[in-house]
Amino acid sequence: MATAPIITFKAGRCTFNQRKVSAVPTPGYIYMYSEDDLLHFCWRPRSAPSTEPELDLIMFPQDGTFRPVVREERDEEMWSPTNGRIFELSFVSSSQRHFFWMQAKTQAEDGDPSWFSLRDQRLGQIVDSLLQGEEVDVQEEIEALRRHDSSPEDDGEGDDDGMDVDQEPEPAKRGSGGAGSGAAGNVRQGGASGGRA
């Protein structure tokens, strides 16, 4: 990776077997960067440098979507059908799908790891907007999310809120927040993704 990431946030990968999504316990980052006018969607373990992503997908505008997997939606409130906050990266041009779980600590007052906070939803919308080829002031969006938070999401080490913009995240060995390594749940194929909030 020759350029700085546009956005970076804590997320783990999931395995998908027919109807079941299971969280892989490896702490990781989703990050996106642009190089030679091509947008890259990447995932890497936190222990690996950003130059060595485990997943590096070149994204063409409007080919990919990044949406929360939703069981229930009321007003602006959304819940996952799993015991963690899962997002699905899917494509118009293929049946390929990737699932990721949010590793930053849940903002639910009762600690419910399946509740998508407005912050989780907005973070997903930012990524989806970038995938659509829309102009997004990511720095301002992330700062607005941080200003809105009354208490930063943290995994117990420092004041890291799980989001970075235009900076090289340092590899770290940390515990993860969110659903935890045992997160699993059922996902319906074909139409299981929730819409934009």
* Per-residue three-class SS string for 86-150: EEEEEECCCCCEEEEEECCCCCCCCCCCCEECHHHHHHHHHHHHHHCCCCCCHHHHHHHHHHHCC
**pLDDT score at 20:** 87
66 forms beta bridges with 89
Question: pTM for the complete prediction?
Answer: 0.76
Question: How far is the C-alpha of 122 from the C-alpha of 56, rounded, in Å?
Answer: 23
Would you say residue 28 has pLDDT above 80?
yes
The answer to whether 109 and 11 have CB atoms below 8 angstroms apart is no
pLDDT band at residue 181 under the 50/70/90 scheme: very low
The domain locations on the chain are 7-149
Question: The tokens 């907005």 sit on which residue?
Answer: 122
Question: The tokens 């997908």 sit on which residue?
Answer: 57
Least confident range of 35-44, 64-73, 124-133: 64-73
pLDDT > 90 fraction of the chain, expressed in percent and rounded = 56
**pLDDT score at 166:** 39
**pLDDT score at 161:** 53
Report the chain's mean pLDDT, rounded to a whole number.
79
**pLDDT score at 88:** 97
- Backbone phi and psi for residue 50, each to the nearest 5 degrees, phi listed first: -65, -15
Q: Which fold has domain 7-149?
A: PH-domain like (2.30.29)
The answer to whether 57 and 41 have CB atoms below 8 angstroms apart is yes
Question: How far is the C-alpha of 29 from the C-alpha of 50, rounded, in Å?
Answer: 9
pLDDT > 70 fraction of the chain, expressed in percent and rounded = 75
Would you say residue 46 has pLDDT above 70?
yes
**pLDDT score at 17:** 86
pLDDT band at residue 81 under the 50/70/90 scheme: confident
**pLDDT score at 62:** 97
Question: How far is the C-alpha of 45 from the C-alpha of 51, rounded, in Å?
Answer: 11
**pLDDT score at 103:** 95
Would you say residue 71 has pLDDT above 90?
no
Would you say residue 13 has pLDDT above 80?
yes
